[in-house]
Amino acid sequence: MTLFVCFMMLVGVPGQSQPPGTPPGSGPSTGAPSTGVQRQPGTPETSPSIGLGGTHDPCIIREGNTWWLFSTGVGIKVQRSNNLVDWQPAGKVFQSPPAWAMRMVPGYKGHTWAPDVQFFDGEYHLYYSVSTFGSNRSAIGHATTPTLDPDNPKHKWLDHGLLIHSEKRQNYNCIDANLCLDEKGKPWLSFGSFWSGLKICALDSEAGRPIEGPIYNIASRPGQAAIEAPWIHQKGEYFYLFCSYDNCCKGIKSDYRIMVGRSKKIMGPYVDKTGKPMTEGGASEILAGKGDVHGPGHNCLFESAGKTYLGYHFYDGANKGKPTLQVREIDWKDGWPEAGRVLTQPGIPAAK
């Protein structure tokens, strides 16, 4: 595939779709708050009641009767579950670091960040981040496989290499990718961490590469850079942009929290409950830490049997601040998501 470097013009946008395709047999797939942030009462329980230790930046997707969890790690960690509660190791995506990534990003040695896996056009598409901490010399790679099950003879990850990248001279950071389809089935890639905030660009429907055109600014925090990890989820007539505010990766000192805004167009403008644009620091809070649950963030969303679920990591104060997976329901009220109950036992309904 032809490489395309994401050196396009940044554009702000003034003023009914579908999620990525459904896999076969699956359902549809410390800083003070800045001005414009609305807090919600839903917070994690004061003691973690469920979680998979050692999980960072989770992405959960279903194939058949199995849930698959991808997370940050050497080669990208993979785990599997039949109920979203009990997880077993299932290997990793890359047995050795992608050579192109080691050449492009000095200091990268295979610890690969923030995987996003989506199903469309008959394949599972993986978007992964290559970087080093505190730098925007970063890249997003792309790989595909016909099945997620390593026991299936057809299972094989084909790495297509570089998708987009950023350099020190630029004011954005190409990590934390998330793929979403618009109302016409056209793929869009959102990404971003710190610097000037969160971005989105269109991809070519056939080749899956960025097309010539603008990069849209979809969320930022003027005067405060700590925003990252976009995830766009379509529900009804709206696209919902979830993201993480403040700081991760500091154990029990992490103050990550999950925020949201919505728009009727995938490229924005996204606004919070008061109508304040997310490009101006507007955002409504979904989750913040409490008790031994520190810094919940870097979320994913998925649907099953008519319900929406939120997966994210937090830092477990009862376990030396270990990053831990938690999954909970999302309740919808007046067109806005709210944090629901944490899953503590098996019994997730099958997808329909």
**CA separation (Å) from 248 to 62, 124, 280, 315, 317?**
27, 28, 22, 9, 14
Is residue 23, in this structure, part of any structural domain at all? no
Is 228 a known active-site residue?
A: yes
The CATH number that applies at residue 249 is 2.115.10.20
User: Reading across the β-sheet that carries 111-120, which strands appear in turn?
Assistant: 73-74, 111-120, 123-130, 138-145, 158-166
> Which residue among 182, 228, 292, 316 is the active-site one?
228
Q: Which residues contact 251 (CB under 8 A, 6 or more apart)?
A: 294, 315, 320, 321
Domain count along the chain: 1
In tens digits, the chain (352 residues) has pLDDT values of 333 334 343 443 333 333 465 555 554 333 332 323 333 434 445 444 455 778 999 999 999 999 999 999 999 999 999 988 889 999 999 999 999 999 999 999 999 999 999 998 899 999 999 999 888 889 999 999 999 999 999 999 999 999 999 888 888 899 999 999 999 999 999 999 988 899 999 998 776 777 777 899 999 999 888 999 999 999 999 999 999 999 888 889 989 999 999 999 999 999 999 999 999 999 999 999 999 999 999 999 999 989 999 999 999 999 999 999 999 999 999 999 999 999 875 554 433 2
**Terminal-to-terminal C-alpha distance of the chain:** 36
Is 176 a known active-site residue?
A: no
Is residue 350, in this structure, part of any structural domain at all? no
Q: Can you give the pLDDT at residue 135?
A: 85
Distance CA 167, CA 243 (A): 23
Q: Please, what sign has the CA dihedral across residues 123, 132, 280, 261?
A: positive
Model pTM greater than 0.95? Answer: no
Is residue 230, in this structure, part of any structural domain at all? yes
Q: From the CA atom positions of the chain, what is the Rg in Å? A: 18
| Tokens standing for residue 296 | 């919940």
Is residue 347, in this structure, part of any structural domain at all? no
For 299, the domain range is 31-342
Distance CA 292, CA 314 (A): 9
Report whether the peptide linkage leading into residue 269 is cis, meaning its omega lies within 30 degrees of zero.
yes
8 A C-beta contact, residue 315 and residue 299: no
Is residue 140, in this structure, part of any structural domain at all? yes
Beta strand extents in 109-247 (DSSP E only):
111-120, 123-130, 138-145, 158-166, 178-181, 187-191, 198-202, 215-219, 227-235, 238-245
| Tokens standing for residue 161 | 């290499």
| Tokens standing for residue 33 | 């708050």
> Which residue among 57, 255, 272, 292 is the active-site one?
57
Is residue 187, in this structure, part of any structural domain at all? yes
8 A C-beta contact, residue 299 and residue 307: no
Is residue 18, in this structure, part of any structural domain at all? no
Is residue 8, in this structure, part of any structural domain at all? no
